[in-house]
Amino acid sequence: MILGYTSGVYDLFHIGHLNLLKNAKGLCDKLIVGVSVDELVKYKNKKAVIPFEERIEIVRNIKYVDSAIPQYEIDKFKTWEKIKFDILFVGDDWYETDSWKSMENRFKEVNVRVVYFPYTKGTSSSLINEILIKTRSNI
């Protein structure tokens, strides 16, 4: 059995999120998805619009997701130490960054494959949030 893992905030769930989960599930037998807890989102200097409990419930109910778990740590290797996934799925906006180059090397040592999926152009939670703010200020 091939165990896959991906993680994210999954705030203002959109087609980019769905595409990532669908594509990830197509490459593994079981897909576990980490959903960032509110404290971790704050650590990234952001604030989720949707509370954690609701975000994880949305992700849990996506048909491509076998299990949704809280993501407490930004370090994906610490998560691997707990659940021992075989493939890590990541958006390609992280590809070739210094932090991910070292992360990839750590995963190579334990035979974990890192798969990058194309970032969905034209849509993101940040963009949706900006549009909502502009729309609400014009009302």
Residue 138 pLDDT > 80, yes or no?
A: no
Instruction: Considering only residues 23 and 120, tell me which one the structure prediction assigns the higher pLDDT.
Output: 23
123 or 72, which is more confident: 72
Q: In this predicted structure, what is the pLDDT of residue 15?
A: 87
- Specify the pLDDT at position 136: 53
Question: Can you tell me the distance from the alpha carbon of 78 to that of 132, in angstroms, rounded to the nearest whole number?
Answer: 35
What pLDDT, in 10s, does the model give residues 82-94?
A: 999 999 999 876 6
Please, what sign has the CA dihedral across residues 29, 34, 70, 74?
positive
Which pLDDT tens digit goes with each residue over 13-58? 888 899 999 999 999 999 999 999 999 988 767 788 899 999 999 9
> pTM for this structure?
0.84
